[in-house]
Amino acid sequence: MKFPKLRKYLFLLWCSPAFAQTPDYAREKRWADEITPAILVGDAAYLTQKSGHKFLAIHAPNPSASKARAGVIVVHGMGVHPDWNLINVLRSQLAEQGYATLSVQMPVLAADAKGEQYPALFPDAAGRLQAAVTFLRDQGHRKIAIVSHSMGARMVNHFIATGGASAIDAWVSVGIVGPSVYLQPERFKSPVLDIYGDKDFPVVLQHAAARAAAIKRVRGSGQMSIAGADHYFNGSETELVRHVKRFLDNVTR
């Protein structure tokens, strides 16, 4: 039996933007060329995906690397880079306070791309996160956590739901955007902190209760909002770091 209409539908679906997107490597290179000369905390490192593509990461080991509490992968949001504003604060201050941080360049699209186009990049993002885990394991870190912001948190959620759950010991999800609840929270094996600003994007605020319910049964997990903070934590960066550190101190000791 033939299904010409079904075949046509599947072909059109495959050709749609959600499937057609590939990472903009040229944009990644421009970011790297711009930010690496100005790195003040840590050093540039290039990690390699299974595809052979090398991507930028910024490694900031604790001054006493053997005593670092844990290795922390820091994941930026949509269309930016591993030393961008809030990400710079998180990776730098956590390193200064006892953690070895590795901020990674996640896949990006063109500057005018929409958020709904990014899920096509999630498998690529998962590969980068696995490479980051391997890097930190090779550095001797027994415990590994991820701190991620916005679209980066969705990328981490995909990584955890598709096989990465056992690779990490904790996850801080900052201002996650998109679906109303976490993807496959039943697969979460480690504590999750869902944190957001009380002046965050409406889509973040309206689904806060659903996210809290989704992680309620994950031992050690919780949710909190920071008063006066917007989606980018402008002016509230230090308070965010304080709460993130407190959570990591408790779950990675």
Q: For residue 63, name the pLDDT band (cuts at 50, 70, 90).
A: low
Whether residue 3 lies inside any domain: the answer is no
Residue 9 lies in a domain: no
Give the rounded percent of residues in the chain with a pLDDT score beyond 90.
84
16 assigned to some structural domain: no
Overall average pLDDT of the 150-173 stretch: 97
Q: What is the pLDDT of residues 200-221, one digit of tens each?
A: 999 999 999 999 999 999 999 9
Please check whether residue 35 lies inside any domain of the structure.
Answer: yes
Residue 239, CA distances (Å) to 85, 90, 248 in order: 15, 11, 14
Query: Closest Cα partner for 130 from 57, 69, 194, 28?
Result: 57
- Whether 159 maps to a domain, the answer reads yes
DSSP element (H, E) containing 93: helix 85-96
Q: Would you state the pLDDT for residue 17?
A: 43
Largest CA distance in the chain: 67
Does residue 19 lie within any of the structural domains?
Answer: no
Q: Residue 155 sits in a domain of what CATH number?
A: 3.40.50.1820
pLDDT, tens only, 8-51: 443 343 334 444 578 999 999 999 999 999 999 999 999 999 99
Write down the residue that tokens 């006493």 correspond to.
64
Instruction: Give a yes or no: residue 142 inside a domain.
Output: yes
- In-domain check, residue 185: yes
Q: Which domain holds residue 44?
A: 24-252
Q: Which pLDDT tens digit goes with each residue over 82-129?
A: 999 999 999 999 999 999 999 999 999 999 999 999 999 999 999 999
The phi, psi pair for 89, rounded to 5°, reads -65, -45
Count of structural domains within the chain: 1
CA distance 173 to 227: 17
pLDDT of residue 5: 53
Pairwise CA distance, residues 195 & 149, whole Å = 10
CA 204 from centre of chain: 16
- Which has the closest alpha carbon to 174: 125, 243, 120, 100? 243
Alpha-carbon distance of 235 to 213, in angstroms, equals 29
